[in-house]
Each structure stands twice: as structure tokens, then as C-alpha cells.
A and B are shown apart, each in its own frame.
Chain A
Amino acid sequence: MPTPRKQRRHADIVAALLLIALGALVAWSSYSLPPPMLEPVGPAVFPRWTGLALMVLAALLLVGALRGLPAAQDAAAVVPVKAAPRNDLALATVVLTFAYVAAMELEWLGFRTATTGYVFIVMLLLTPTGQRLRQVPVATGTALLLGLGLHYLFTRFFYIDLPT
């Protein structure tokens, strides 16, 4: 298992490479933009220079990470990490969220049904396993309140349209 410092180095290397690629792509695509007309500086200049700056700074990050320089004090959590991170839960939540939005986009489910189902599932997913059964009534009530209540509140009170 790599040490936290090695993990940070790897993360920095990956981030730097991605940013260099992004900067290169942006700078290259700026050459397809039209030249300036009636003004000294056209639409291509800012994207080009931003892309180049991104490449240069990302290269500095890459060099620093490869040389194993002590990482400058990164944005660190105040609370020490004592429990394992729940990347699995986070991934599941993200996937469910994408599915929730897709269901509304494709009009398989309306806002009320999709929201009720989504809130119910995610609430139980995030509840510790031993407490899930006990939380079913709470999750059900909350899901119905959000699914039906929010629809009423936004469409009839705030006059804000909702997806489907």
C-alpha cells in the first residue's frame, strides 16, 4: 500500500499530465479560431495563452512531483483521518445520481416518482447497515415529502419549472 505521500505524488503526476494535455488541446484548437477583425486582439489570443500557461504550470507541477520534492502544504483536512474513506459509497451515490437524472431526461420517470425513489434509496444507502431497517419509515417519509412536496412548492409557489 503506497504511503500517503506517494499517493499524493501519484495524484500530482496524473493531474499534471491531464492538465498538460488539456492545455495543449486548448492552445491547438485556438488556431482554428478566426483572426481578429476590427480589433487588435482576436478571440484566439486568450484561449491560446491560457492553454500555454496551463501547460507551463502543469509541467512545473510534474517536475516537482517526479523529483519527489516535499509537497507544499496542500489543502489538508482539519480532522485527522481515523476511518477508511467510503469511496464505494461515494461511487454508488454518484452512479445513482446520474441514473436519477437520466431517468428524468429520457422521460422514463417524472420528477415526483424519480425523486421519491432516489431519495429513498440514497438515504438508506448512506445509513449504516445495522440501522437501515429502523430508518425505512424515516426514509419513506422524507422521500415522499421531497418528491411530492418539492414538486408542489416549486411549481405552484415559486413558479419554477421542474424536469418533466
Chain B
Amino acid sequence: MEPLLSSFVSLFAPVPFAFIFLGVFVGVVVGAIPGLSGAMVIALTLPLTFHMDSTNALVLLVAMYVGATSGGLISATLMRMPGTPAALMTVLDGFPMAKQGQPGRALGFGIMASFIGGLVSWVFLAGLAPPLAEIAVRFGPYEIFSITLVALMLISAVSEGSMLKGLLSGLLGVLVSMVGSDPASGAVRLTMGIADLDGGFRLLPVILGMLVLGQVVKDVVDIDQPIERLSASTRSMFMKFVDLRRQAVNLVRSSLIGTWIGILPGIGGTTAAIASYTTARSFSRHPEKFGKGCEDGIVAAETANNAAVNGALVPLITLGIPGSVIDVILLGALVIHDLTPGPLLFRDSPESAYGIIAAALIANVLMLLIMLVATPWFARLMYVSRAWLMPPIIVFCIIGAFSEGNRMFDVWVMLGFGVLGYAMMRARMSVGPFIIGYILAPIAEVQLRSGLMIYDGSFLPLLTRPVSLGFLLFAVITAFWPLLRRLFERGQTAPSIPDSSAE
């Protein structure tokens, strides 16, 4: 408790507090603009933090994470376009409610739900992370290998679209991660004789290319799409106590769903929002109202996607395993600042570990205040032309890719991954599994090979060690879940989420 309290005290100093405020502000702005996302702004900001104090850098990025996840609500409600992927489900009820003349109420519900989701999940983050880190220190290589296997299976199983394409995307990411020197023997792999690849593909060019440039190209392709826009009225924006009481069960349930899904490595806010929305509809006495401006839908989606933010920080700072794509970038930030992600973070750099936890709460409170006050102004930013946004984003990407290693080669790599990222989007292959596979595969390989060396080449401890076995079973169930579900549901019609594209 004491390290956490002293982190709070230190973050209220002018400089770190200013960074948290700036992070939330920029995050909300970026989250509100369709075509930009939290992952983009955090990836673009990462190079700017190279020379910053590590704690300030981390709190800035965490604050952006919180802000961007919440900011997506604004364009989801007023433009029928999720500002960030996590706001996908908010569109279904936020926009219809706004169209019915209640944009302020829709926004108010979403903002309050985001705040409460963040608050509940923060309690889990603060309560779970330190003891989990202590337990995780005792994990051996096979336990960590099993956990990464679960993450790889999960991201493929729950990625948008078909599981097969999710697995393929993940495998591509795994493949890309293997380019360069083998971590154990130093043998050079898959470099095609290109000396610059001996060190492998650097993190920033891959992330900037796949997540940012690919999306930029897609946004240019879609530049002529007409966008319906509604004005943001602040009338009735503040959620009344009677509304809060009516939504209490939904808020708590959605917070728990979002937190739990966030904790599961490799998934993230979008899946949390989908799961929470469908659960709320299943439990609702009026499921027919969902998709037509139902408050419950907005609350369920926004509560869960914000709860997932703090939930995803749990595996990141305790195990060094990213809970979502954005956490991959945060993982990169830890590495760039010479911090060892995982259970040793609490021992070796407690100010950074507790700083992240404290910043998550402060950012959540600031998000509430900033969004309640400034949403009508943020809403105007949605009208910024893509012609103005795209060129600066591309320039920032080039600077970011160059800055990590001062090599133009990395810029070319980024451009190449940008083309690949767009090609994958065209092929309807989610990019998320690729990124997670790229990050997790080296961890999985190193841990498995270490385990084999320790146990004289035996795979048996994978099955005899209870934690490892538990996670392996989970991975197997996840891999076969779609097939199992089809067998169980044979002959039944599964309820489906209303297809907004048909409206």
C-alpha cells in the first residue's frame, strides 16, 4: 500500500501531473477522430519519450491509453463511426440515441460508464498486480510458455472475423519475429542475406507500419465515404442518480466482464465491449430495444472497454505479457526505457510499476472531468479533413521509424509493413493477432527452449506442473472452442449482433 500511496504523491507533482493531463487530453482528441486510434497515437508518441524520464514516459502513454479508449465514444455517438476499435459496440446504440435528439444523454451515459468501468477495474489492478507479481516470480519457463500459448490461441479465437484468418495472422507475426539472430545460439535466420536484418525487425517500424500506415492507406481509400454528423449538445449530459441506480447491475456486471477479458492476455477492449454488450442484451427484459438507442447498450459497451484498459495492464506489468495491442506498445516502452517487464518490475523498478497503477486512476478521473467539460469542442475536431491529417501522420511515422536506430532501412521496413498491413485489411485479416504473435513468439521460444535445457529435453514438466498444465488445457479448449460450440449448438440458431452495416 505504501509504495502505491507514495506513487500517488509523486504523480501529483507538476511535471508528471501535466504529462498525465496532456496524455488524457491528446488521447481523447485522437480517440474522437475516426481513422485515428489510441494505438496510433501511442506508437507515434513512443519515439518522443526516448529522452524522457521513464516514469513520466509511462504515465504519459498510460494516460493516452485511457483517453483514447474513452474518446472513441464521441465519434461513435455523433458520426456512427467508432473513433477507436473499442467503441465499435457503442455505435449500435449511441448513434441511434443521438439521432433521436438525445446526443448529450448518450454521451453522458458513455462518459460516466467509462469512468465507472475504469474505477472498478482499477481496484482489481491495484489489488491483483502486486500479489500476482510475487507469485509470477516463481513461474518457471514452462509456465510462461503455456501462458504465451494461451494468449496466442486467444487472440486468434476472438479476433474479428474467422478464427482461421486470425491464426494465419498470428503465425505471420510469429514468422516476422523469427527474422534475425536466434536468441539462444546466435544463428542468423530468415534474413535472406540482408545484413541489416541480422538484428531482426525493430519493434517501432513493425508497429508503425502495421497499425498506423496500413490504417492511413485504408483511410485514403475510404476518403470519399459520406459521413453523417450530428451536433453535440451538452443538454442532459450529466447522468442523474436515478439513472445510475437503474444501471447499477449493468455497470457492475460490465465492469467485471471488461476487467476479466482485459486480464486475459492478448485480447483487449473491443472483445470486452462485444462480450459485455451481448451479455447485457441477454439479461435485458427488453432485448428488442438494443440497437435502437438503448441506454443499457451504451453503458455495457463503454463500461467494459474502459474496464479492459486496467485489466490488460495486469498481465503486462506482472507477467510481461501484453493484454492488448496497445499493451504491446507499452511493453516496447518499458524495454526502450531499460525496464524489465514482468514480475521483476515490482522488485527492480517499483516506482515505475506503481507509477503505472497510480497513473491509471488519475487518468481515469481526469478523463471524466475533461470529457464532461470539453466534449462539444472535441466533437468539432471530428470535422478535420483527412487531407490535413494523413500527411502529418505519415511524416511522424517516418520520424518514429528512423529515430529508433537512426537507420533509413527501418523506414523502408515500416513502409513495407504498411503495405502488408493494408493488404491484410483488404484480405479481411485482423492485424491484432499479427502484432501479438510478433511480440509473444520470441518469449514463447526462449522460455520453451530454456525449459527443455533445464529438464534435459523433456516436455513432461509442461504436463506435470499444475500451472503449466492448467494453461495448456485452456489453450487447447480455446483452440477447439468454435468446433465444440458448433457441436453443442447443432440445430440451434445462435443469436447474432445486429448488423449495423445493413442499416
- Known pairs A33-B189, A58-B168, A78-B91; A122 contacts B390 (CB<8 A): yes
B281 beta carbon closer than 8 Å to chain A? no
Chain B residues with CB under 8 Å of A154's CB are 399, 403
Chain B residues with CB under 8 Å of A135's CB are 387
A-B contact count (CB 8 A): 207
Interface hit among B98-106, B353-361, B407-415: B407-415
Looking at the assembled complex, report how far the CB atom of A56 sits from the nearest CB atom of chain B, in whole angstroms: 10
Q: Is the CB of B452 within 8 A of A37?
A: no
Q: Is the CB of B171 within 8 A of A78?
A: no
User: Bound complex: CA of A146 vs CA of B388, how far in Å?
Assistant: 11
B445 beta carbon closer than 8 Å to chain A? yes
- Known pairs A73-B161, A75-B430, A118-B395; A127 contacts B220 (CB<8 A): no
Q: Is the CB of A57 within 8 A of B387?
A: no
A133 beta carbon closer than 8 Å to chain B? no
Interface hit among B43-51, B121-129, B254-262, B371-379: B43-51
Chain A residues with CB under 8 Å of B419's CB are 94
Chain A 66-89, CB-CB to B under 8 Å as 1, else 0, gives 000001111111111111111101
B22 beta carbon closer than 8 Å to chain A? no
- Known pairs A61-B164, A93-B390; A78 contacts B222 (CB<8 A): no
| A80: nearest chain-B partner, CB-CB | B501
Q: Is the CB of A79 within 8 A of B80?
A: yes
Q: Is the CB of B415 within 8 A of A162?
A: no
Chain B residues with CB under 8 Å of A84's CB are 224
Looking at the assembled complex, report how far the CB atom of A8 sits from the nearest CB atom of chain B, in whole angstroms: 7
Q: Is the CB of A160 within 8 A of B398?
A: no
Looking at the assembled complex, report how far the CB atom of A138 sits from the nearest CB atom of chain B, in whole angstroms: 8
| A101: nearest chain-B partner, CB-CB | B411
Interface hit among B131-139, B172-180, B196-204, B230-238: B172-180
Interface positions, chain B 398-425, Cβ under 8 Å from A, are 398-399, 402-403, 406, 408, 411-412, 415, 419, 422, 425
Q: Is the interface of B mostly helix, strand, loop or mixed?
A: helix
Q: Is the interface of A mostly helix, strand, loop or mixed?
A: helix
Looking at the assembled complex, report how far the CB atom of A123 sits from the nearest CB atom of chain B, in whole angstroms: 5
B426 beta carbon closer than 8 Å to chain A? yes
| B186: nearest chain-A partner, CB-CB | A43
- Known pairs A46-B445, A75-B429; A51 contacts B175 (CB<8 A): yes
**Taking each of A46, A94, A104, A119, which has the highest tally of chain B beta carbons within 10 Å of its own beta carbon?**
A46
Q: Is the CB of A119 within 8 A of B162?
A: no
Partner pick for A86 among B187, B189, B224, B395, CB 8 A cutoff: B224
B81 beta carbon closer than 8 Å to chain A? yes
Chain B 206-235, CB-CB to A under 8 Å as 1, else 0, gives 000000000001001111111100000000
B82 beta carbon closer than 8 Å to chain A? yes
* Contact size range, B: 35 or more
| B178: nearest chain-A partner, CB-CB | A47
Instruction: Report the count of interface residues on A (CB-CB < 8 A).
Output: 77
Chain A 91-132, CB-CB to B under 8 Å as 1, else 0, gives 001100110110011000000000100110011111100000
- Known pairs A135-B387, A159-B51, A160-B50; A74 contacts B223 (CB<8 A): no
A2 beta carbon closer than 8 Å to chain B? no
User: Bound complex: CA of A2 vs CA of B168, how far in Å?
Assistant: 26
Partner pick for B161 among A57, A75, A79, A85, CB 8 A cutoff: A75
Chain A residues with CB under 8 Å of B422's CB are 90
User: Bound complex: CA of A115 vs CA of B419, how far in Å?
Assistant: 21
Looking at the assembled complex, report how far the CB atom of A135 sits from the nearest CB atom of chain B, in whole angstroms: 7
Interface positions, chain B 78-95, Cβ under 8 Å from A, are 80-82, 88, 91
- Known pairs A50-B171, A78-B81; A146 contacts B221 (CB<8 A): no
B391 beta carbon closer than 8 Å to chain A? yes
Looking at the assembled complex, report how far the CB atom of B225 sits from the nearest CB atom of chain A, in whole angstroms: 5
B385 beta carbon closer than 8 Å to chain A? yes
Chain B residues with CB under 8 Å of A43's CB are 182, 184-185, 187, 189
- Known pairs A71-B162, A72-B164, A123-B387; A11 contacts B217 (CB<8 A): no
Q: Is the CB of B190 within 8 A of A29?
A: yes
| A104: nearest chain-B partner, CB-CB | B408
Chain B 475-503, CB-CB to A under 8 Å as 1, else 0, gives 00000000000000000000000001111
User: Bound complex: CA of A122 vs CA of B389, how far in Å?
Assistant: 11
Q: Is the CB of A97 within 8 A of B408?
A: no
- Known pairs A80-B503, A83-B224; A142 contacts B175 (CB<8 A): no
- Known pairs A19-B168, A47-B178, A123-B387; A160 contacts B190 (CB<8 A): no
Chain B residues with CB under 8 Å of A19's CB are 168, 172
- Known pairs A50-B178, A162-B399; A76 contacts B223 (CB<8 A): no
With A12-B427, A80-B501, A150-B399 known, 20 other A-B pairs at CB within 8 A are: A26-B175, A34-B185, A40-B453, A58-B168, A72-B161, A73-B162, A74-B160, A74-B161, A75-B430, A79-B501, A86-B224, A93-B217, A97-B394, A101-B412, A118-B391, A119-B392, A126-B385, A127-B385, A154-B403, A161-B406
